[in-house]
Chains A and B, each alone.
Chain A
Amino acid sequence: MIRLVGILIGLGFTFVVLLAFVTGAYTAATEDVAETAEHVFHEEAHGPEAGYSFDGPFGKWDLTQLQRGYQVYKEVCAACHSLNYVAIRDLEDLGYSEAQVKAEAATFQVPGVNPDTGEDEMRQALPTDYFPSPYPNAVAASAANGGKIPPDLSLMVKARHDGSNYLYNLLTGYQQPPAELAEEFPDFTIPVGGYYNPYFSSLVIGMPPPISVDGQVTYADGTEATISQMSQDVSAFLTWTAEPKLIERKSTGWPVLGFLLFATILAWLAKKQIWASAKPRNASRRED
């Protein structure tokens, strides 16, 4: 009885899902699925040619690069983008001394309260403060940017597939739309205030090219500030903001794996020895 009911239910589901299949197949056969420009012209991120120092299981931070990247963030990105989850004290990880971080904090103004009157006022930031947002609130951020809030950058690298490489390609990928795009998709237009960038999922990004000329920042360490250099430096910096424990994590992983390997070999030897007495002698064992 239960098997009869089961067969009926099984055939019922099969019938309905195959009906859906037939209608879907009919639609697919009779209607052309229009290719989209996003699908054809989108390019996958591949990152800077030399890669990053933190790539791979043995990667390490390049602290001078992170410092340069921080400079690019501060002088370029911070005009519109917040960095909400990073505290100024965290900069000590980039190789700055406590005094340097204190001095750096003093260059920021954060909202505070006057200790005498209790009124709102701006005060000098302390290392324990978080990086201040460029806008006082979300409405102001949206109003200043054509209705779209510039996203927070703290976690951007982890919030995109292959984020470190993606950011680099996005920053260096601004270009004129290719001629084939207009030929193949005559309806595809770039709206006012949009910029063509094949690495962006919709091909049109609202952010104007943030890094547009060589020498846009002047690096203290004398590195030549090409567009590519600035883009990879800031991408490296934002990799650190997204995953500050990245290198600590990888370097902790090796001793853990080493210990586990050792323990597993011991466990295997113990197992072998214990089972030796139970193994069949001169007998062929059935394969299972």
Chain B
Amino acid sequence: MSFPWAKEYQPQNGLTKFLDEKLPLPRFVYNAVGAGYPVPRNLSYFWNFGVLAGFFLVLQIVTGVVLAMHYAANTQVAFASVEHIMRDVNWGWLMRYTHANGASFFFVVVYIHIFRGLFYASYKPPREMIWLLGVTIFLLMMATAFMGYVLPWGQMSFWGAQVITGLFEAIPLIGPPLKTWLLGGFAPDNAALNRFFSLHFLLPFVILGCVILHIWALHIPGSSNPTGVEVKGESDTLPFHPYYTAKDGFGLGVALIVFMTFVFFLPNMLGHPDNYIEANPLSTPAHIVPEWYFYPFYAILRAFTFDFILPAKLWGVLAMFSSILVWFFLPWLDKSPVRSGHYRPLFRKFFWFGLIPVMAVLFVCGGAPAEEPYVMISQVATAYYFLHFLVILPIISSIERPDPLPFSITEAVLGSDKKAVLGENAEPVAV
């Protein structure tokens, strides 16, 4: 599953020899994230974010397990038990703020990870399965984060749960009974809180399982790289350890500095003040908004305000789910033979001047109240979002003339690739 020049694990002493024979776990780690995994030598810092996402997943699981020891999933006491954590549990405030902001940072690094994949077209063959698993992980993360936000049982918890589960009501015929079934009642209440807690504890481990599959699938073709040219020889790669462990260690340090600044000095900046008011089914907040990392998708949901054959709400729900599901089809929508956006002039323009600004606009509109001009702006942005992935991307991939690619990663890094013999190992470079 690796390149032929990958270093082989050599057990050094009696214990490791014993282990290698009975349960070759050290060998497994060596081949996965050690010197036995050859990685393209030209990865930029954008390739740090997969490791960072893994770090935040583990951090969320650790802090979450501790919080679950002190939290009580009952509508009568849930809000008070969170205050108990904040006031009476030793370092409880640190655990909770780390967990709450950790969710935000998990999404930050995963968004950067996804958009790195979009720019460098990491979803293309032979890495389709990695991408499919990644989108699955993202969907699981969204479900987990949503349910976690409900647990403190504040006003935004309750009304967020009301709005999101209300989306299922838009499904024709089975919608209303489906919503009742999901919630265990007609509105979010104790039954819903209990099952959300149960699932919020379970899903991170499902995510962990998918992450293991994601990394497994990654190790079959090996990592992509900024040139998008596949590895051709040993000079194109470096062993993961020590080169990328060192680079990831530095990246992790920088990420932790930013993260801890939020935890210790701005812990509530990414939250909503209303969630410090206990849930009250009789009092609707003025503006119900989800967590900030759902704003772009919330904007797409609210952009559909016109009943065209189907009710507007159903259009919104379909569009919101489709806006993520469309990512599943990217390997087959984008047929350009060139991966990296660096060598795709037309694609690059649409990425930087189309998709990225539109995501930013959707983000702002999703957090804004549902009034003009935000609704109109989000409608135009939503139109572009779907056009970008479903119309523009397939078309430019067939009309674009890519820039010449370097012959190999070594050539891109060192300026020349003396060992490489043209004709041998060479992939057909498509134009």
Binary CB contact string for chain B from 375 to 414 against chain A (1 if under 8 A, 0 otherwise): 1100110110011011100100000000000100000111
Contact of A275 among B246, B261, B306, B390 (CB under 8 A): B246
How extensive is the interface on chain A, given as a class?
35 or more
Query: How far apart are B183's CB and chain A's nearest CB, in angstroms?
Result: 25
Task: Give the segment of B163-171, B210-218, B273-281, B353-361 that binds chain A.
Answer: B273-281
A159 shortest CB reach to chain B, Å: 4
B261 near A267 with CB under 8 A, answer no
Given known A163-B273, A286-B412, contact A253–B376 (CB-CB < 8 A): no
Chain A residues 5-28 with CB under 8 Å of chain B are 6-7, 9-11, 13-14, 16-21, 23-25, 28
| Residue ID in chain A nearest B342 by CB atoms | A288
Interface residues of B in 27-42 (CB under 8 A from A): 41-42
Chain B residue at minimum C-beta to C-beta distance from A22: B306
Tally inter-chain residue pairs, CB-CB below 8 A.
181
Q: By the criterion of a CB under 8 Å from any partner CB, how many residues of chain B are at the interface? A: 71
Q: Per-position contact with A for B214-246: 1 when CB-CB < 8 Å, else 0?
A: 000000000000110000000000100011001
Query: Is the beta-carbon distance between B87 and A85 smaller than 8 angstroms?
Result: yes
- Nearest to B264 among chain A residues (CB) is A253
Q: Give A160's nearest chain B residue, CB to CB.
A: B273
Min distance, Cβ A34 to any Cβ of chain B, angstroms = 12
Task: Find the residue from B80, B267, B373, B379 having the highest chain A CB count within 10 A.
Answer: B379
* A260-B260 in contact (CB<8A): yes
Say yes or no: A271-B333 contact (C-beta < 8 A), given A24-B376, A253-B265, A280-B414: no
Specify the chain A residue showing the minimal Cβ separation from B271: A158
A249–B273 contact, CB under 8 A?
no
Whether the Cβ atoms of B260 and A257 lie closer than 8 Å is: yes
Closest chain-B Cβ to A38's Cβ sits at a distance in Å of: 10
Interface majority SS (helix, strand, loop, mixed), chain A: helix
Report which of A11, A17, A57, A264 forms a contact with B253, defined as CB distance below 8 A: A264
Query: Taking CB as reference atom, which chain B residue is nearest A280?
Result: B414
In the complex, 19 of the A-B residue pairs with CB atoms within 8 angstroms, ordered by the A residue number, are A6-B326, A10-B391, A14-B387, A18-B379, A23-B305, A28-B376, A158-B268, A245-B87, A256-B260, A260-B253, A268-B253, A275-B243, A278-B243, A280-B414, A284-B415, A285-B413, A285-B414, A286-B412, A288-B227
> Contact between B304 and A17 (Cβ–Cβ < 8 Å)?
yes
The answer to whether B141 has its CB under 8 Å from any CB of chain A is no
Q: Given the complex of chains A and B, what is the CA–CA distance between A2 and B334 in angstroms? A: 11
